Amino acid sequence: MESMLIDPLIVARDLHLASTIIVAGVIFFDLFIAVALWRTKPPLLAARAVFQSSSRNVLWVCLALSIASALAWLWLLSMRIGHQDFRDVISDGTVWRVLSQTQFGFAWQMRLLLGAGLAVCLLLKGTSGGRLAGGLVFLAGLLAAAYLGSLAFAGHGAEGLGIEQHIHLAADFLHLIAAGLWLGALVPLVLLLVHLGRFQEDGWASAAARAGSRFSTLGIFAVGILLVSGLVNAAFLLGGMHSLIDTAYGRLLLLKVVLFAAMVCLAGINRQYLVPRLYGSRGTGGASATARRFVQSALVEIAMGLAIVCIVGALGIMAPANDMAAYLH
């Protein structure tokens, strides 16, 4: 386990997955929550301006980190395939062969193009002056979904054959999109609640409640997708329930499930307790305290979600439990 934690390839995978999820989450939050929120009255001009600036900064930093870590992933994988150091894989063309002659490389070409297209779309959105903003937000959402979901081609789902491969890839694709809708969108939700509480403009508490309520509804949808797609993935990768205990892969997967269950419980508390309290807040003090608790709870969810991402980074380079179980038995 210690060697896995310091494996550069796992670190690159973790950074890429986390940053890509946040990129998609920020865009999904804008598309499904923020756009509708800013149409309500009062306009919350100060909080809106600061939130949009901070979320834009997070988006660009994470997009840059996502593309850089994608290149690092390609480089490190080429080193591992060629059993070479980081200079040789460039000088003898190993990186180019991996990029041009493997399924992983083809997927990476498409993903890098999607990342570049997303960057162009975001630049156009920032300079459109509102004339094409709505259409560009929708286009950015499609590109972000494709950029995040296409990570499925770097996982175990790409290793099968025939109809089983297609089903597994579809489950992985949906699993990733759902992670962006929930874990990724938690980041801009925290930013929004912090800035609403900071400026406390007229109607800020009800705006925070509406954002929390819309996010909770989106989260229920995401959790449903995660559960179904997770069960499909488990059917392909586990060699039976005993694999959860008998194999290292299964034990890590079980830890992931426990963390996921804890996130669901925390999200349920937020929906059933904190959002109604925001709607029913009387006075700035009560609303501020509730918003702070919501932010703290969301930060805990993010921490657990990032722990899950780290586990996924390790699982991705391990032999699936069904292979390990077959060897053990």
Two structure tokens written together for 283: 């006075």
DSSP-assigned letter for residue 34? I
Q: Tokens 């921490």 identify what position?
A: 303
Determine the Cα–Cα distance for residues 329 and 315; give it in Å rounded to an integer: 21
Q: What long-range pairs does 226-229 form, CB within 8 A, spacing at least 24?
A: 226/175, 226/178, 226/179, 226/182, 226/260, 228/171, 228/174, 229/171, 229/172, 229/174, 229/175, 229/178
Tens-place pLDDT, residues 155-197:
776 676 678 888 989 999 999 999 999 999 999 999 999 999 9
Determine the Cα–Cα distance for residues 131 and 263; give it in Å rounded to an integer: 39
Is 128 a residue whose pLDDT tops 70? no
Is 262 a residue whose pLDDT tops 90? yes
Count Cβ neighbours within 10 Å for each residue of 172-191 and write b for 16 or more, e otherwise.
bbbbbbbbbbbbbbbbbbbb
Two structure tokens written together for 292: 């702070």
Tens-place pLDDT, residues 201-233:
888 988 999 999 999 999 999 999 999 999 998
- pLDDT at 150 (0 to 100): 93
Nearest to 69 by CA among 23, 18, 117, 145: 18
Determine the Cα–Cα distance for residues 96 and 306; give it in Å rounded to an integer: 32
Whole-model pTM over 0.75? yes
Determine the Cα–Cα distance for residues 114 and 98; give it in Å rounded to an integer: 19
Average pLDDT over residues 298-321: 89
Nearby residues of 22 by Cβ (< 8 Å), 6 or more positions away = 58, 62, 184, 187
Contact 156, 316 (CB under 8 A): yes
In the chain, the number of structural domains is 1
Two structure tokens written together for 82: 């060629």
Tens-place pLDDT, residues 18-46:
999 999 999 999 999 998 888 887 788 89
Owning domain of residue 175: 2-328
Tens-place pLDDT, residues 97-120:
888 888 888 999 999 999 999 999
Contact 197, 288 (CB under 8 A): yes
Half-sphere exposure of 103 (CA within 13 A, CB side): 11
Determine the Cα–Cα distance for residues 74 and 89; give it in Å rounded to an integer: 10
Nearest to 144 by CA among 124, 168, 117: 117
- Report in angstroms the alpha-carbon separations of 93 from 78, 90, 288: 10, 5, 58
